[in-house]
Amino acid sequence: MRIVVTGTDTGVGKTIVTAAIAAAATAAGVRVAVIKPAQTGVPDAYPLDTPGEEPDATTVARLARPATARTLANFPDPLAPLTAAAVSGRPPLRMATVVEAVRQAEGAHGLVLVEGAGGLLVPMGESSWTVADLAVALECPALVVVRAGLGTLNHTALTREACDHRGIATMPVIGAWPAEPELVHRTNLHDLPELVGVLPEGAGGLSATRFRGSAPAWLAPVLYGVFDPAAFTSAAAVPDRRRADRPA
C-alpha cells in the first residue's frame, strides 16, 4: 500500500501526521517506509538540538521508528523544492526518481508513506511536477492534512477539487486540534468532509514512547488506528445556544 501525504498549506502538520500513521501501522505489525522526496530549509550539516532544523525524515524516525525513513534530495533554503534547487545550484529532483524509490520500497514494506512539501500543487522538481502529479503516477490516494480553524473549509475544498479533477482519492486529517476548541473549530467539524483522523495540538512535542502509544487513537481503522470520526464530531458538537438561553 502506498499513500502520498500532502496538505492544504505549509505548516499544517504533515510530518507529525506522517509519523502518527507510521507509528500506528508499525504497532499493527506492518513494515513501514517513509520517503521524503525533497527536504528544504535544513542545512546540509546541522546540530540535532537546534529547534526547527531537524529534517522531516529524522522527526518521523525519532517519533515513530518505522523500518525505513529517508530523504531523496536536500536543499538548504526554505523555499519550494524546485526554487530551492535553482537557488542552491543543485539539480532539481526528477519525479521518476521518486516513483522508482517508492516501487523499490514496496518490495520490503507493507506501507510506503510519501510526504510532500507545502501544498498539493507546489513545484517539486524537474518540469515543475507536483505532489498531485506524483499521486497520479503512483495511482494512490492523497492524505490531506488540514487546519482546524478559520479558512480551512476553502483551502480543503480547493485541494479536494484539484484531486477530484485528477481522479485522486482523498483522506482528510486535522493536523492540530486545540485543547480548548472555539466555536469555529467545532462548526468546521460538521462542514469538513468525513475525517480519517484528528491529531491533538502539540502531538509532536510528546516523548517518542507516548507518541507511539497514543497514535492509534488519533487515526481511523483505514490508517491502522481506532479513531471514530462520528463519535469525535458528536462529542465536539456545538451547544444549542437557543436551548441554553431558555428559562428553566
Active site residues: 36
Residue 193 amino acid letter: P
Q: How distant, in Å, are the alpha carbons of 105, 181, 190 from that of 235?
A: 40, 12, 12
User: Is 169 in contact with 163 (CB distance < 8 Å)?
Assistant: yes
Q: What is the 3-state secondary structure (H, E, C) of the chain?
A: CEEEEEECCCCCCHHHHHHHHHHHHHHCCCCEEEEEEEEECCCCCCCCCCCCCCCHHHHHHHHHCCCEEEEEEEECCCCCHHHHHHHHCCCCCCHHHHHHHHHHHHCCCCEEEEECCCCCCCCCCHHHCCHHHHHHHHCCCEEEEECCCCCHHHHHHHHHHHHHHHCCCEEEEEEEECCCCCHHHHHHHHHCCCCCEEEECCHHHCCHHHHHHHHHHHECHHHCCCCCHHHHHHHCCCCCHHHHHCCC
CA 71, CA 58: separation in Å to the nearest integer?
9
